[in-house]
C-alpha cells in the first residue's frame, strides 16, 4: 500500500526504520531483527540505503522480505550521489519487480574521498527521474528542522525543499530532533512558504551515551539540556539509560500527537527491544 494512502486513511501512524547489513554475512541477523520489529505491526517500515549504493541489493532484499514474508508496508530508500542515471533506473526496476510502491528519494552524503559520479547534484533531480520512469510510485523526501548542514541559511534550505516537493514528493520525513519546538517552528516556516505535504517527524530514541555524540556528528541536531541531564544521570546504568531513552522519545511523540503532528517515524536502529518498548508505551494512543 502507498504510504500517502495510509496517512490519509489513519489519524495516527507509527513506523519504524531499519538499516541493511553492510556485508552478506550480516544479512540473517538484520533480517531477524527486522522480522521482530515487523511483528509489532507498525504502519510501515523503511529500509535505508548505503550512500555509495554498495549495499543496495540488501536494501531491496530486506524490503521485499518485509513486504512479502511479513506483510508490512515498506518504504525503500534510494540515494543518488554516487550513482549514474543507469544505476538509478536499474534500482527502480529492481524495486518494481519486488512489488515496492514507496521510495524515499535522497541525494546521500557527499563522500569524504570525493564523488565518483556527477549525474546527480540534488535529490530533486532523482525525484524527476523516478517520476519519469513511473509516475505512480509514492515518493518521500528528507527535510531538516534545524536546516541541512550544507546550507548556511534555513530560508535557502526551505526554498530548495519547496523545489523538491514540487518535483513530486508525496510526503517528507524529518531528520531527528530532540526538542519539539524546533519542529513546530519549522512547520510554521514551511507551511508559510506553501509546502503543504504531510511531514513525518523522525524520532530517535537515545538509549546509550555514545549515541549522543554519534547522532550529533551525523545529523548536527541540537541536544537539549533536558536530554544532557538524563544521559548524565543514567549513562553508567545501561538498563536505566535504555528505559529513560525510550520514555524521552515517547514523551516527545505524545506531545507531537497532542499538537496534531500524528504520523510518527521512529529510527529504531535494528533494535527490536527498543521498538517493542516504544510500542508498549504508545499502543493505546496510536491504535
Ligand X SMILES: Cc1cc2nc3c(=O)[nH]c(=O)nc-3n(C[C@H](O)[C@H](O)[C@H](O)COP(=O)(O)OP(=O)(O)OC[C@H]3O[C@@H](n4cnc5c(N)ncnc54)[C@H](O)[C@@H]3O)c2cc1C
Nearer to ligand X, 123 or 275 (CB): 123
Cβ neighbours of residue 194 closer than 8 Å, sequence gap 6 or more: 162
17: annotated active-site residue: yes
Q: How far is the CB of 9 from ligand X (least distance, A)?
A: 22
Interaction residues for ligand X, span 37-76 (CB under 6 A): 48-49, 51
Nearer to ligand X, 180 or 244 (CB): 180
138, containing H or E segment: strand 138-143
Q: How far is the CB of 88 from ligand X (least distance, A)?
A: 13
Q: How far is the CB of 124 from ligand X (least distance, A)?
A: 6
Cβ neighbours of residue 25 closer than 8 Å, sequence gap 6 or more: none
Measured distance CA(7)–CA(264) in Å, rounded: 10
**Binds ligand X (CB under 6 A): choice among 13, 16, 44, 164:** 164
The values of phi and psi at residue 113, to 5°, are -80, 5
Mask for 7-26, x = binds ligand X (CB under 6 A)? --------------------
Secondary structure of residue 71 in the 3-state scheme:
coil
**Binds ligand X (CB under 6 A): choice among 142, 195, 256, 279:** 142
Stretch that binds ligand X, among 20-28, 150-158, 186-194, 249-257 (CB under 6 A): 150-158
Catalytic residue among 11, 17, 32, 101: 17
Q: How far is the CB of 232 from ligand X (least distance, A)?
A: 27
C-alpha cell at 150: 550544507
35 dihedral zone (left: phi>0; alpha: psi -120 to 50; beta): alpha
Stretch that binds ligand X, among 32-40, 60-68, 107-115, 246-254 (CB under 6 A): 107-115
Q: Do 43 and 84 touch, CB atoms closer than 8 A? A: no
Interaction residues for ligand X, span 111-140 (CB under 6 A): 122-124
Q: How far is the CB of 188 from ligand X (least distance, A)?
A: 19
Nearer to ligand X, 96 or 148 (CB): 148
* 109 sits near ligand X (criterion: CB under 6 A): yes
Count helices and strands (H / E) in the chain.
11, 8
Q: Do 56 and 89 touch, CB atoms closer than 8 A? A: no
Q: How far is the CB of 236 from ligand X (least distance, A)?
A: 31
CA nearest neighbour of 33 among 282, 276, 263, 281: 276
* 160 sits near ligand X (criterion: CB under 6 A): yes
Question: Taking each helix axis from N to C terminus, what angle separates 56-64 and 85-97, rounded to the nearest 10 degrees?
Answer: 20
Measured distance CA(229)–CA(248) in Å, rounded: 12
The count of chain residues that interact with ligand X, using the rule CB under 6 A, is 23
CA nearest neighbour of 19 among 104, 131, 111: 104
How far, in Å, are 77, 135, 138, 209 from residue 102 at the CA level? 9, 11, 5, 34
Stretch that binds ligand X, among 129-137, 156-164, 205-213, 233-241 (CB under 6 A): 156-164
Interaction residues for ligand X, span 172-201 (CB under 6 A): 173, 175
User: Where along the sequence are the contacts to ligand X (CB under 6 A)?
Assistant: 48-49, 51, 77, 79, 104, 106-109, 122-124, 142, 148, 150-151, 157, 160, 164, 173, 175, 202
Residues serving a catalytic function are 17
Amino acid at each position: 500500500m502507498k504510504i500517502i494512502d495510509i496517512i490519509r486513511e489513519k489519524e495516527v501512524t507509527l513506523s519504524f526504520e531499519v538499516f541493511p547489513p553492510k556485508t552478506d554475512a550480516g544479512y540473517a541477523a538484520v533480517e531477524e531483527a527486522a522480522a521482530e520489529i515487523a511483528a509489532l505491526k507498525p504502519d510501515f517500515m523503511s529500509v535505508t540505503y548505503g550512500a555509495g549504493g554498495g549495499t543496495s541489493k540488501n536494501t531491496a532484499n530486506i524490503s521485499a522480505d518485509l513486504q512479502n514474508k511479513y506483510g508490512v508496508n515498506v518504504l525503500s530508500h534510494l540515494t543518488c550521489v554516487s550513482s549514474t542515471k543507469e544505476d538509478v533506473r536499474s534500482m527502480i526496476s529492481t524495486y518494481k519487480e519486488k512489488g515496492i510502491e514507496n521510495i524515499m528519494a535522497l541525494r546521500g552524503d557527499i563522500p569524504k574521498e570525493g564523488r565518483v559520479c556527477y549525474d546527480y547534484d540534488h535529490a530533486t533531480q532523482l525525484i524527476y527521474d523516478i517520476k519519469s520512469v513511473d509516475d505512480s510510485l509514492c515518493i518521500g523526501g528528507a527535510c531538516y528542522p534545524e536546516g541541512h548542514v550544507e546550507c548556511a541559511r534555513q530560508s535557502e534550505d526551505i526554498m530548495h525543499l519547496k523545489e523538491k516537493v514540487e518535483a513530486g514528493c508525496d510526503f517528507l520525513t524529518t531528520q531527528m530532533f530532540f526538542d519539539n519546538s524546533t519542529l513546530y517552528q519549522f512547520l510554521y516556516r514551511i507551511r508559510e512558504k506553501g509546502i503543504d505535504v504531510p511531514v513525518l517527524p523522525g524520532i530517535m530514541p537515545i538509549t546509550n551515551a555514545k549515541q549522543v555524540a554519534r547522532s550529533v556528528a551525523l545529523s548536527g541536531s541540537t541536544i537539549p539540556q533536558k536530554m544532557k541531564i538524563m544521559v548524565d544521570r543514567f549513562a553508567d546504568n545501561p538498563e536505566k539509560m535504555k528505559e529513560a531513552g525510550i520514555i524521552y522519545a515517547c514523551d516527545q511523540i505524545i506531545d507531537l500527537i497532542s499538537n496534531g503532528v500524528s504520523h510518527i517515524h521512529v529510527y529504531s536502529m535494528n533494535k527490536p527491544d527498543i521498538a517493542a518498548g516504544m510500542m508498549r508505551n504508545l499502543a493505546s494512543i496510536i491504535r
